[in-house]
Amino acid sequence: MRSNLLIALVGVAVSIAVVVTFSTGLNRGPLSAQDPSKRENFGGHSPGYPILGTTGDVLDPTSLNIDPKTAVIDPMKYLREFNYGRTSALSNGTSLREYTLIASDQQTKEVSPGVFYNVWTFNGTIPGPTLRATEGDLVRITLINNGTKFHSIHFHGIHPSEMDGVFEGIAPGGKFTYEFTAEPFGVFPYHCHMQPLEEHITHGLYGVFIIDPKKPRADADEMVMVMNGYDTDFDAENNFYTVNGIPYYYMHHPIQIDKNRLIRIYLLNILEFDPINNFHLHANMFDLYRTGTKLIPDEYTDIVTMSQGERGILEFSYKYPGKYMFHAHKTEFAEKGWVGLFLVKDSTAESATENSNLTSIERNASYSTSEFSNTGNGTTSFVETGGLN
């Protein structure tokens, strides 16, 4: 009898608590009338982009930096670096581009602050170097295998069967030269194609191969972004997600671009274990050229989703200066490293401010130098170099 009475009293107490809580909620009034200092945490959300905790199985280095000297790559250098190869002309006028890629699988490098991983690389980095040619060029890529396993290079695109890098693995200490005509124009992955394939890719043997159209695309600030990840505890699930090899790097080192400047991103998804990956651009839209094999955009959007091996060209410009995020719109990927910032600068305004601080003599000297430097024929030249870089 006593126990039944106790249960009844507990039930009454719970009911009263629920009614009181509900009544209190109804009396809160509209959000706008509440204390502004409490408004930011309404609903359990915090403003901005908070530092995220983890369950302990993944290091979350949002407040840490990584030294590119010990890292698997320098993401800022890789971003705008293109390897045009050692260039010469054949007797028929065709351009010949020669490249050398060295495969290794013994190195251990830092892939996130304090996290070291056995990396398999082309030319010592993940991703490997971005190779670049023009449609119709003859390309020769010599692979030297300095690793302990069989490796190869499989290029996406059009080429003969014997140049496909699938059936003929290169033994440790061996080398092989792939030769084919660069076609069609677009952006393509290259990667090792030895079995087990997922092991060779997840450890890092991949890169980007850009084939430009014969008539160049419009002038732009060009950069390469490779979406990848690392399974550092070998359970076939990624612990880190990145763009260009190191998680969170572009949050600590925003990519500086100019206001109203055309930006062109060669984007590739090479992520293993997850069926999709994506790229989202904040406060803007971009023209999307899927695979980059057409000169007319397929879509005008702010997000693109890709499966492994898919790629595209993104073109956009920013109207307003400031910091803008770009990241995977798969929350888990962003929270584990695939997130960065663009810092849009108004170079015109900055130049005007700097110029206003000059004396009249300095200003005149600046104009004289500018006029003198533009008295040539108006052409711009550059030297294309290659080899091991």
Per-residue pLDDT tens digits for 238-269:
999 999 999 999 999 999 999 999 999 999 99
DSSP H/E element including 206: strand 206-212
Ranges of the chain with pLDDT below 50:
10, 12, 14-61, 360-389
Q: What is the mean pLDDT of the chain?
A: 82
| 62 and 251 Cβ atoms separated by less than 8 Å | yes
Per-residue confidence (pLDDT) for residue 186, from 0 to 100: 98
- Domain ranges for the chain, please list them: 75-347
- In CATH terms, 75-347 corresponds, of 2.40.128.110, 2.60.40.420, 1.10.10.10, 3.40.50.150, to 2.60.40.420
pLDDT value, residue 64:
63
| 3-class secondary-structure state, position 285 | coil
CB 358 within 8 A of CB 368: no
> What is the model's pLDDT at position 159?
97
Cα separation values, 75 from 25, 67, 69, 238, Å = 50, 11, 11, 20
Using the CB atoms, write b or e for 269-288: b if 16+ within 10 Å. Answer: bbbbebeebbbbbeebebbb
Nearest CA among 143, 147, 131, 17 for reference residue 82: 131
pLDDT at 353: 58
Q: What is the pLDDT of residue 14?
A: 43
* DSSP per position, 46-81: -SS-PPPP--SSS---TT----TTTBS--HHHHHT-
102 vs 180: CA distance, rounded Å? 19
Alpha-carbon gap, residue 110 to 107, rounded angstroms: 10
